[in-house]
Structure 1
Amino acid sequence: MFPARATRKRARTASNAAALDASHIWQGHNTQGAEEVKPATEGARKRDLEFWHSDGNIILVARDVEYRVYKGLLADHSSVFRDMFSLPQPITNAPSSSALEESTCPVVHLYDSPEDLRHVLRAYMPRGESNPFFMTAPSYSYSMISAAVRLGHKYQMSKLYDHAIGYLKKHYTNDYDAWATHPDYVPAGFGMQEHAIGVVNLARLTGETSLLPTALLACCILNEDIVDGFVRADGTREQLVLADVKLCLAAKDRLVRESMKVAFRVFQPFVADTCKSKAFCTESFKRELATLEGRLEDMADPDPCEAPLGEKFGEGILCMACRFMVHQRDNRERRAVWKKLPEIFGVEGHASSRETLPRLATSHTPSSTSPTPPKA
């Protein structure tokens, strides 16, 4: 009759012109609060153990790691790679740890982390029989989804990007009933509540504003951990920008006040029209209303989908008609708060497309480092 709300655990802890214009793509999209990804000096580079194919025809370099792969596979799935590979390849005399290979195999320097690039290569050049990104019943790690979104967005790998964003949208939904049934604030496989911070940053980066209300709501549950963020697989720290931290603090205060209003409305001492024990139920309502002070923790929850207050009325406290009415009140009031989430988090009029994101001025400043073209 009503959606089951599980109390969530709180962890504390395509043209030539396009090819010429694509150079900015090779600049790093900085993670919030993370250090810029820069290439290593050539003498310090090493081969990747997973992606070094002796018959590969392109060497990709991310920081100090080299990947020898197949450029045709990448070009088939990415218009950016396709345009980049079509650019003239200047000759260089710089030494390399793979000098012999470079004599016949062009080298492309990327401003991405080796870990992110490795995840994407696994999607298009999987080892074994299954592709880790396109499973029937997936349970992806945050690192996999983050890499697919960031690099899928950056290199215009639409299938990979859409698949990863679709996975996030199934969890960070605008559907009240779907959100209420989620057992946790992050998708299965993510492992840390703080990964919601990364989801907010991905939404800001790509303009997927439909993710923001619930992802920011999940950040509100982090308490002081919202400031520290978490360490990514590449060693950089993922944090919210200051503007989003302030937004969450203000929103949490607003949501707590909304939750208190919900409690007082739910416990109004008005019985159901079909109540057959009006005096008894009226007194029960008054007693519950008088004890609200001792239920501050129940009332002060910023998540409108947490366990309904109507469940506080057990057998014998109210008649069946009044208990049903309380559940209706609770459900109605919580849905009303849910509808306010876009406004509370400042994303009113948000759409699921990428075109309407009000980007933060200080959020995603591209690297000033120029891309390194392929070399033969």
Structure 2
Amino acid sequence: MATCVPRKSARLEAQDEDGELEGTGGKAERDRTFWFQDGTIVVLAGNIEFKVYAGPLIEHSPVFQDMFSLPQAGADVSTADRVRPTVHLSDSPCDLRYLFELMMPSKTLRPFGSPVVNHDKLAAWIRMGHKYQIDVLVQEPLDRLRAHFPNNFDTYVASLKRQYKQKYSIGVVNLARLTDARDLLPVALMSCCQIQSGLTQGFQRIDGTWEQLSPGDLELCFNAKERLIQTRVQFANRLLGSGAAPECHSKEVCTRFMQAYLQRLTSGVIPGLRTPTPLSPWGSNINAIWRLCETCRKALTDDSNNYQREIFARLPTIMGVDVEGWGEA
């Protein structure tokens, strides 16, 4: 597959039968996958050209419909039968490939495929769908992202079992801003705060460009990181500082071991307390408290879940964003 290249401005030209682009001074590199001999339109992105069918694009996108209705520059009556329209797009060739995977050669959108889709493809669908007004190409991928960056605590707990590379949280924040999907922001921004290195640099997309947070969202992360740490410390003190459960039959022993474990956490003997992760599971910590009775262990597990549910409800405030309907099922 051809290498992705820098973007160019959008314009409409004509191409002769030999593949020579009029006005460009040379040939572009044909894409190996999306070059149909009977294609009706040539799309050029960077120096990669695709020969595809205009019908599916026109069918699903009013933007493409308007674009392809423009007159062809360079075509006249004498050459009309051998000239194909060529549209120059500013998109990444990689993004276009992901779009064409769904739309070519059928006029009907194909299913989105496997439940597990890589971030590059989801992001490309959303960017292409937003730009070219293909609503289904925005909404279904956004719903898939909501399974990893939800606005509901129970869904969030379930999402911890599914891995989503943390660096891609930067891209999710940008996609949420692009589409005004604000419900994605609290969890995505919190995940950005937990990136140990490279937050300001961002990550490199498959097309070679860099995905970075805006200055405003970087500032949100810098300000929220300390609040997340404070929330985690407060959570630990609240959970372990209250002592044994009321139903405990060895309250003095259990209380003593809870306090000893809390002291080791706050002193740093047990690492990981002062991190921006107030919603990380506490099961391993609870199990690590030596000689704790089963009654207190169960009470701590229940309290941990309830306290973190409260934290989740306050997450937009902690992260500095407003989200209508946050926490609703």
Scaled to the shorter chain, the TM-score interval is 0.7 to 0.9
**Paired residue for 2:277?**
303
TM-score normalised per structure 2: 0.83
One of 218, 226, 236 as aligned partner of 2:199: 226
Structure 1 residues 326 and 104: CA distance shift in structure 2, 3 A:
same
Q: How far apart, in 1, do the equivalents of 2:161 and 2:198 lie?
A: 17
Q: How far apart, in 1, do the equivalents of 2:243 and 2:273 lie?
A: 20
Question: CA contact under 8 A between 2:123 and 2:175: conserved in structure 1?
Answer: yes
The answer to whether 1:38 aligns with 2:4 is no
- Matched letter for residue 226 of structure 1: L
Question: CA contact under 8 A between 2:286 and 2:301: conserved in structure 1?
Answer: no
- Matched letter for residue 73 of structure 2: I
Question: CA contact under 8 A between 2:229 and 2:275: conserved in structure 1?
Answer: yes
**Paired residue for 1:273?**
246
Identify which range, 265-274 or 312-321, moves more after superposition.
312-321
Q: How far apart, in 2, do the equivalents of 1:198 and 1:82 lie?
A: 29
Q: How far apart, in 1, do the equivalents of 2:301 and 2:157 lie?
A: 15
Instruction: Quote how far apart the aligned CAs of 1:126 are.
Output: 5.9
Question: CA contact under 8 A between 1:46 and 1:64: conserved in structure 2?
Answer: yes
One of 102, 117, 122 as aligned partner of 1:145: 122
In structure 2, list runs of 5 or more residues that go unmatched.
11-23
Q: Considering only aligned residues, what root-mean-square deviation do their CA atoms show, in Å?
A: 2.8
- Matched letter for residue 320 of structure 1: E
**Paired residue for 1:217?**
190
Q: Deviation per CA, 1:190-226, whole angstroms, max 9, x where unpaired? A: xx43121111111111111111111111111112311
The answer to whether 1:160 aligns with 2:137 is yes
Instruction: Quote how far apart the aligned CAs of 1:44 are.
Output: 4.7
Question: CA contact under 8 A between 1:197 and 1:240: conserved in structure 2?
Answer: yes
**Paired residue for 1:347?**
321
Q: Deviation per CA, 1:64-98, whole angstroms, max 9, x where unpaired? A: 111111111111111211222233x043279xxxx
Q: How far apart, in 1, do the equivalents of 2:276 and 2:283 lie?
A: 14
Q: State the number of aligned residues.
A: 304
Structure 1 residues 297 and 56: CA distance shift in structure 2, 3 A:
same
Question: CA contact under 8 A between 2:128 and 2:137: conserved in structure 1?
Answer: no
Instruction: Quote how far apart the aligned CAs of 1:116 are.
Output: 0.6
Question: CA contact under 8 A between 1:79 and 1:155: conserved in structure 2?
Answer: yes
Instruction: Quote how far apart the aligned CAs of 1:314 are.
Output: 4.8
3-state SS in 2 of match to 1:233: coil
Q: How far apart, in 2, do the equivalents of 1:320 and 1:184 lie?
A: 25
- Matched letter for residue 267 of structure 1: L
Question: With CA pairs under 8 Å and 6+ residues apart, which has the higher RCO, 1 or 2?
Answer: 1
Instruction: Quote how far apart the aligned CAs of 1:281 are.
Output: 2.3
Question: CA contact under 8 A between 1:185 and 1:218: conserved in structure 2?
Answer: no
**Paired residue for 1:260?**
233
Q: How far apart, in 1, do the equivalents of 2:180 and 2:30 lie?
A: 35
One of 112, 130, 134 as aligned partner of 1:134: 112
Question: CA contact under 8 A between 2:240 and 2:262: conserved in structure 1?
Answer: yes
One of 143, 146, 155 as aligned partner of 1:178: 155
Q: How far apart, in 2, do the equivalents of 1:126 and 1:110 lie?
A: 20
3-state SS in 2 of match to 1:84: helix
The answer to whether 1:92 aligns with 2:74 is yes
3-state SS in 1 of match to 2:200: helix
In structure 1, list runs of 5 or more residues that go unmatched.
1-34, 95-99, 353-376
Question: CA contact under 8 A between 1:152 and 1:160: conserved in structure 2?
Answer: yes
